[in-house]
Amino acid sequence: MDTNMQPKDGGLAALDAAVRRDLEIIRYPRKEWVPPIERNGQRVLDVAIIGAGQGGLATAFALKRNNITNVRIFDRASKGGEGPWVTFARMITLRTPKYVTGPDLGVPSLTPRSWYEAQYGVAAWEKLDKIPRGDWQAYLDWYRDILDLPVANDHEFTGVTWEDGLLRLTFRRPDGTSHVHYARKLVLATGIEGCGTWHVPDFISRGLPRERYAHTSEAIDFAALRGKRVGVLGAGASAFDNAATALEEGVGSVTLCLRRKEIPSINPYRWMENTGFLAYYPALSDELRWGFMRRIFDLNQPPPQDTFWRCRRHENFAYRTGCPWTGARMEGDEIVVDSPTGEMRFDFVIIGTGFATDLSRRPETASFAPSVALWGERYRAPAGAESTVLESYPYLGDCYQFLPRHKDDPLAPMLANIHNFTFSATPSMGLSGASISGMRFGVERLAHGLGRDLYVADGQQHLESLLSYDVAELVSLDPPVA
């Protein structure tokens, strides 16, 4: 929460009442329609969602709007610690415009603006530039509570197998015990790194003791770095966020290094924020989608202007362009980093080199990773347009579902029921649950596909339900007596 703003007394109570009224007004149809299934005396979940961050919560709400209520969200974090916003995100505000919508699914009283105005007043919203990340987390916490979304915290998802036409999901609790749930559909809403791992160059992990470096996604004890020389590797927003945080915590100096000759300045996300791209990109040909994504990935996402100035206001901040790191080693108690521009010496280094997409390196996807089709196997880029990064991304179906490398793969039916709502869906589907900018369209597309698949699978039962339907509406031929 923004500590410079004071919440308004009674503001949220009135908003809560407005949300309940709005949802009651638009609640049509009003009955569940998915036939129940049991396995081992336990009702099978229609949809299991892994990840209770913004994408998982919004997906559960969209399903609820469609009267699919036998749903549960699982998250390994304790309540309030889901997602990046109060863990490893170190920006001051979101990078998206304050008027962004998405989790609300078109319900005005559920929008971030309505929540913020209820908290701080209309005038505060008008003065606001971008939403502080602490307020975004508080908004998501309120959203979860007001919608009564079914979240099971402290459940670490450890894997999925295919058992007699159902997904068998295994979870581990903090006490080490395992727990099993069966589900018909599985949604992976596990964020940016959901289909891979955060990337640390091999020369860092091999050359330095583990306590002398950290990735930007990790917990960092910045207080312990006061007065020390810190090196940061990376050109993206998170690298600058961590550099700024270190400077604000009183480190001796920060030197940020990037391989590019210039700091990226063009943000393709601002271009992508148009209805055409957000809604219809998945319908494009492979050739066009590859062209879009190659350009977007090449541009990368630069540090916002305010983040850059957050670093530059410190005299002990420096940055070096055209300065990739090529090696790292210890000399006594110093870290020595090699680069084409010469050696640099630090006491601690922070790695902001993003993530690597590799399904085999995630416990939730490792068991079926060899069966998943990748872009590099489905599309051959023309000469000059190749991208080893894009080739590593999964090639998805029209509802975010994994596709098999080979049609006769025995795991093909399982893959059809696992829906990848992580950042790695981007080349196939455009912006989705891992991006606030794309949630409005991505969540609705996903929920529609999940409902479609469930209805089609049960089509015969729905027909039989109609054929046996005998509830009379006309019950009297005589007019009532006055």
**Rg from Cα positions in the chain:** 25
Phi, psi of 425 (to 5 degrees): -80, -10
Token readout for 44 is 């099978």
Exposure string of 60-83, with b = 16+ CB inside 10 Å and e = fewer, is bbbbbbbebebbbbbbbbeeeebb
Q: Which amino acid is at 192?
A: I
Contact criterion met (CB below 8 Å) for 68 and 29: no
Residue 59 CB burial class (10 angstroms; 0-12, 13-18, ≥19): buried
In angstroms, the Cα distances linking 171 to 47, 74, 108, 156, 159 are 15, 9, 36, 5, 7
pLDDT in tens, 12-53: 999 999 999 999 999 999 999 999 999 989 999 999 999 999
Mean pLDDT of the 1-10 span: 54
Mean pLDDT of the 358-377 span: 95
Which of the two residues, 295 and 192, has the higher pLDDT score?
295
pLDDT of residue 3: 45
Residue 141 CB burial class (10 angstroms; 0-12, 13-18, ≥19): middle
Q: How confident is the model at residue 10 (pLDDT cuts 50, 70, 90)?
A: low
pLDDT in tens, 48-61: 999 999 999 999 99
DSSP sequence for 372-405: B-BHHHH--PPTT---HHHHTSB-B-TTSBB-BS
Angle at 455 between CA 28 and CA 194, to 5 degrees: 95
**Lowest mean per-residue pLDDT among 301-305, 320-324, 432-436:** 432-436
pLDDT of residue 91: 94
pLDDT at 1 over 50: no
Q: Domain locations in the chain?
A: 11-195+357-461, 200-265+302-353
Sign of the CA dihedral running 188, 64, 150, 71 = negative
pLDDT of residue 102: 87
The DSSP code for 449 is: H
pLDDT of residue 302: 87
Contact criterion met (CB below 8 Å) for 385 and 290: yes
Q: How confident is the model at residue 482 (pLDDT cuts 50, 70, 90)?
A: confident
Token readout for 459 is 């089509």
Token readout for 340 is 């084409």
Q: How confident is the model at residue 432 (pLDDT cuts 50, 70, 90)?
A: confident
pLDDT in tens, 185-228: 999 999 988 889 999 999 999 999 999 999 999 999 999 999 99
Which of the two residues, 249 and 5, has the higher pLDDT score?
249
Mean pLDDT of the 429-451 span: 92
pLDDT at 450 over 50: yes
Quote the percentage of the chain above a pLDDT of 90: 88
pLDDT at 6 over 70: no
pTM above 0.85, yes or no: yes
Contact criterion met (CB below 8 Å) for 43 and 70: yes
Contact criterion met (CB below 8 Å) for 240 and 256: yes
pLDDT in tens, 51-90: 999 999 999 999 999 999 999 999 999 999 999 999 999 9
pLDDT in tens, 252-290: 999 999 999 999 899 998 999 999 999 999 999 999 999
Q: 11-195+357-461: CATH homologous superfamily?
A: FAD/NAD(P)-binding domain (3.50.50.60)
pLDDT of residue 384: 94
463: helix, strand or coil? helix
pLDDT at 9 over 60: no
The overall average pLDDT reported for the chain is 94
pLDDT of residue 5: 60
What is the enclosing helix (H) or strand (E) of 239?
A: helix 237-248
**CATH class of the region 200-265+302-353:** alpha beta
Contact criterion met (CB below 8 Å) for 72 and 65: no
Please tell me the distance from the alpha carbon of residue 342 to that of residue 427, in angstroms, as a whole number: 37
What percent of the chain is helix, strand and coil (3-state, nearest 5)?
A: 35, 20, 45
Mean pLDDT of the 385-399 span: 97
Label the pairing between strands 151-152 and 156-163.
unpaired
